[in-house]
Chains A and B, each alone.
Chain A
């Protein structure tokens, strides 16, 4: 389940003292060792870093402004196809916007969506999960029933209706996706907290006079991080996929935002006439999500000692 810091000494070590840095370095070293074993994960990491770089340097890399419409350059095919031009390497869309530039800028939206959704759902989910797992009783029952209710709906359907309620748009789509993803964090955190709570090091800390908040956040939480990190990685890719799906259904980012899903929705009418306007945005989504999932697999292998065997 969690990392190998389950003995009370390590827990105390986490709270201060000279050994912290060394322990951490050792842990990181071990982690990196296992992570590196997984070739796919390393490839995923490299691709992901490239995408992040693309997102950051989009204004420098993109040959055009993503929303500039170049009159007289409508639906130009990619450069390697007949009729393609070097100015538009991946071609242009129906209103003469450079597809490459839009894709580069689109990376920003996807990463931003992933980041915001994961931050939101992890923060909220962990806090609620901690409360449920730590206090148990009626609070726990109510929280878990609420989570059951959210989980009873197919996530995309719930997000779709939520966005309809909040109004279509990128921000609302992110809120809706965060809401449907957060029960997973609640469940994970709660289970981990319940498992950890009865352990010796927690009792030791309690005897030493630690308050509820300190016990929850400083003593228990750090020992539940491994599954949370893995889940967060998976949620990152789910968030990107769901936001793109909402965009595709017309409920996510609104045109002319160069969000990949929205680009696909706009491109649908050209599906049989201009394959490139359909193909590239989807490919970008796939590559990004795949890279993150590869990393997620690697992370799980490196962080989860039980699965290391296989």
Chain B
């Protein structure tokens, strides 16, 4: 309490000095340093929070709190009959930020959009290698080079993307951080000064907050963007206080040194919920942890066997022992916060007795198998080794002998892809663009066998559904197809779906207007501090 008072006192003293009337500063204790400030170059959520969701906007945005897309810098768009041409009409009068280092002379136009994508796309673009080793990871990872036929400027405020094939998730990809729209004019200014590197160090965009300064590994400072197209911000300053240690973040939160923090220690969550100055939001993260059988190898090619093993796993025990309760058992391969999640599916009951019987019926006795456990902690599975040990003892109960294996992480990822790999691999996925395709087709499609499809599972019925869902553009139609695909998945059981980890966001009581993102983003547009 004392510290809070002193903090307030210092705050008042500071504002008195600077002379501005009661500036509202929102402090976010972030979990790590951003890799840089050009969202196209990186893949880490930490970087996206610091660059993409503060400084930049995209043609489409995710509607806060959902995985649905809504108009962003593009006010509207038309899709041609054949589903190959997407024409975007840009929002008029969108202002870029005016800062110490740049003063824009014009509003957003088609040149900015073209520049933002062409630099990532064209190998010979002058900005393609403006930082050495730039690999435009997501642009490539989401398959854009193979997908895009052309990007044209129709007029100053209209841009047309032509695709090589029908691809419904394309719109969701345009809402991803790597699709952030940068300023062509700013780039030209940097290029003229021979200072291209600054694009990655002093970002400039159209977003709700403008970049002020970054002290490496310590603090990032932003100011509200006065001419922001989507309305004025309630706070004046936004500060990211980089605090890698979760217990220190918690302490700073308690002391009032920051207002909101990500990723608390699971052990602290109960105390946070009962703390008088704090409140806690929680939601399933956009992720799933699973155990993938190799469905091409006996006896796992038998659905009965897979089902039986699934029924022997006590998921609640994993939730308790690995996540201290901060997770939910998973029944579908996509998380509940994603559109098209099939609520009606019944999970396999935890029933060792029935499981044992099913195994006997399938003619499998004295089964011994390998379970692969990741060597690293991932957001969807904090401690794979411990989870594997729990499953090991579950399986022992139905007479299945388990050997736990593990490899160094890069090797693990590589080896687990092999089509003739033995046993069951524990792994998981964190969604990129909130589109069910990004789970169902990416992880379970026939193309992904020998790659992301660790179950090596190629089922005709399922494949037809997810491929069709990729091609129709009507959202409701797509959702229906995905719901059916989840039913097929459940019948065929190529995986044991284990858990969805919860994303927990503790904050001070005075924080208003923060919306938890199912995509795991921390975006502060619209937050306020109300005493």
Contact = CB atoms under 8 A, between A and B. Distances in A.
A37 B245 CA distance: 48
Interface residues of B, number: 10
A268 B245 CA distance: 9
Contacts of A273: 268, 271
A271 B245 CA distance: 11
Interface string A250-284: 00000000000000000011111100000000000
Contacts of A221: none
A269 B251 contact: no
B334 to A, nearest CB: 31
Given A272-B251, A273-B271, A167 B246 contact: no
Interface of A: 94, 167, 268-273
Nearest to A167: B408
Nearest to A274: B267
Q: Is the interface of B mostly helix, strand, loop or mixed?
A: helix
Contacts of A270: 247, 267
A269 B267 contact: yes
Most-contacted residue by chain B among A269, A272, A273 (CB, 10 A): A269
A269 B246 contact: yes
A94 B267 CA distance: 8
Nearest to B251: A272
A269 B408 contact: no
Interface in B403-426: 408
B25 interface: no
B122 to A, nearest CB: 38
A134 B265 CA distance: 58
Contacts of A268: 245, 247
Interface of B: 245-247, 250-251, 265, 267-268, 271, 408
A184 B271 CA distance: 50
A211 B281 CA distance: 79
Contacts of A167: 408
A270 B268 CA distance: 8
B314 to A, nearest CB: 15
B247 A272 contact: yes
A116 B164 CA distance: 64
Nearest to A273: B271
Contacts of B251: 272
A273 B271 CA distance: 10
Nearest to B265: A269
A273 B270 CA distance: 12
A23 B349 CA distance: 80
B106 to A, nearest CB: 50
B111 to A, nearest CB: 46
Nearest to A168: B375
Contacts of B265: 269
17 contacts: A94-B267, A167-B408, A268-B245, A268-B247, A269-B246, A269-B247, A269-B265, A269-B267, A269-B268, A270-B247, A270-B267, A271-B247, A272-B247, A272-B250, A272-B251, A273-B268, A273-B271
Contacts of B247: 268-272
A168 to B, nearest CB: 9
